[in-house]
């Protein structure tokens, strides 16, 4: 491991607000050649940086450095090349965390990257923000900027980058201009009546910067506004790039896992939340009273109260 720095050039500690894990703003530091080379390497190679310096919770291993899944690397490439991305992904595969990892790298190694996080609930958005904050704890001082401001909903670095957390309201993040990435997480769970106004308030946040990225991500929930965006992305008519993954896109998810999950949650829920089935896709359903089994489309399933 490369030796870290703990003081500025005058010998003062780099501690932010009494927290030794964070670095205070606007300090003059001196990096040796090894640290400088490592900084440049991390800036240019996001995957190297994450796998070497960012600790996350890994099932069975606790807090540790992750080995990124191949789909996460593919997703990062898509983020690098596109500015409007719609992603439909199974439950509990690392959706939120993957975007958080990308956002963290964007802020640490670039100037003036203003990011935003919103979700179906403010609590969900705050949790993602908290995970980013915790990621920072383990990154050495020589690889991270100083902190100007840190609260439960806002982070500002002295390189001009930062994050704000937004509530899912009709007004969105008022007065905020995004130059980095705006994440809208769990979009399928946002109330459909609120969605149009929420989206109308969020879109301008990224519209004024041609490089700003808007990422819409969710596990599907029926035939609603999210399904529409995904369909438009998949069929290429709404300006969004499309990204999806199968239910077994992470290790440990094999046929035995699937069988157990279907038992736990039922085939309909599995189809929706793990196989990400929506729209015209046919699913087999069983009438609880008559025992009759028939095939219906997901669209029918969610628009016909008979099946609810």
Ligand X SMILES: Nc1ncnc2c1ncn2[C@@H]1O[C@H](COP(=O)(O)OP(=O)(O)OP(=O)(O)O)[C@@H](O)[C@H]1O
Report which of 246, 193, 253, 192 is spatially closest to residue 223, judged by C-alpha positions: 192
Q: Which does 69 bind (CB under 5 to 8 A by kind): Mg ion, ligand X, none?
A: ligand X
Q: Least separation, in Å, of the C-beta of 219 and ligand X?
A: 6
Yes or no: say if 188 and 121 are a contact pair by the CB < 8 Å rule. no
Q: Which stretch binds ligand X (CB under 6 A): 62-70, 152-160, 161-169, 259-267?
A: 62-70
Q: Which stretch binds ligand X (CB under 6 A): 15-23, 55-63, 80-88, 208-216?
A: 55-63
- Residues forming beta bridges with residue 305, ordered by sequence position: none
201 touches Mg ion by CB under 5 A: no
Q: Count the neighbouring beta carbons within 10 Å of the beta carbon of residue 47.
A: 14
Which residues, numbered 194-233, are part of the site for ligand X (CB under 6 A)? 219
Measured distance CA(279)–CA(96) in Å, rounded = 24
Alpha carbon of 89 to those of 67, 187, 275: distances in Å? 19, 12, 8
Which residues, numbered 86-105, are part of the site for ligand X (CB under 6 A)? 91-97
Burial of 202 (0-12, 13-18, 19+ CB in 10 A): buried
What's the token pair of residue 215? 């990422």
Q: Which does 216 bind (CB under 5 to 8 A by kind): ligand X, Mg ion, none?
A: none
Q: Which stretch binds ligand X (CB under 6 A): 12-20, 66-74, 139-147, 225-233?
A: 66-74
The number of residues making up the chain comes to: 308
CB nearer ligand X, residue 92 or residue 192: 92
Binding mask 65-104 for Mg ion (x = CB under 5 A): ------------------------------xx--------
Q: Count the neighbouring beta carbons within 10 Å of the beta carbon of residue 45.
A: 13
Q: Which residues, in sequence order, are CB contacts of 307 under 8 Å at separation 6+? A: 285, 296, 300, 301
Q: Least separation, in Å, of the C-beta of 223 and ligand X?
A: 20
58 touches ligand X by CB under 6 A: yes
272 touches ligand X by CB under 6 A: no
Which positions lie near Mg ion, rule CB under 5 A? 95-96
Which positions lie near ligand X, rule CB under 6 A? 56-58, 66, 68-69, 72, 91-97, 219
């Amino acid at each position: 491991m490369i030796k870290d720095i703990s003081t500025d050039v005058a010998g003062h500690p780099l501690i932010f607000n009494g927290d030794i894990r964070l670095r205070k703003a606007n300090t003059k530091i001196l990096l040796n050649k090894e640290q400088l080379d490592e900084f440049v390497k991390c800036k240019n190679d996001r995957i190297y940086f994450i796998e070497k310096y960012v600790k996350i919770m890994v099932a069975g291993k606790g807090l540790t450095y992750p080995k990124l899944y191949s789909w996460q690397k593919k997703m990062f490439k898509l983020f690098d090349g596109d500015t409007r991305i719609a992603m439909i992904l199974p439950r509990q595969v690392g959706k939120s965390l993957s975007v958080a990892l990308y956002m963290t790298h964007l802020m640490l190694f670039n100037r003036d990257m203003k990011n935003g996080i919103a979700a179906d609930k403010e609590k969900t958005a705050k949790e993602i923000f908290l995970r980013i904050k915790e990621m920072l704890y383990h990154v050495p001082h020589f690889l991270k900027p100083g902190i100007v401001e840190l609260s439960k909903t806002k982070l500002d670095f002295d390189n001009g980058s930062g994050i704000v957390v937004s509530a899912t309201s009709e007004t969105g993040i008022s007065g905020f201009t995004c130059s980095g990435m705006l994440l809208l997480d769990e979009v399928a769970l946002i109330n459909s009546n609120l969605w149009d106004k929420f989206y109308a308030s969020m879109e301008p946040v990224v519209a004024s910067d041609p490089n700003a990225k808007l990422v819409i991500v969710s596990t599907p929930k029926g035939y609603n506004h999210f399904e529409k965006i995904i369909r438009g992305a998949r069929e290429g008519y709404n300006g969004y790039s499309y990204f999806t993954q199968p239910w077994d896109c992470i290790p440990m998810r094999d046929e035995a896992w699937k069988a157990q999950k279907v038992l736990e949650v039922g085939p309909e829920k599995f189809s929706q939340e793990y196989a990400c089935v929506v729209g015209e896709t046919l699913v087999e359903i069983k009438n609880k009273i008559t025992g009759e089994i028939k095939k219906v489309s997901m669209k029918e399933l969610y628009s016909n109260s008979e099946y609810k």
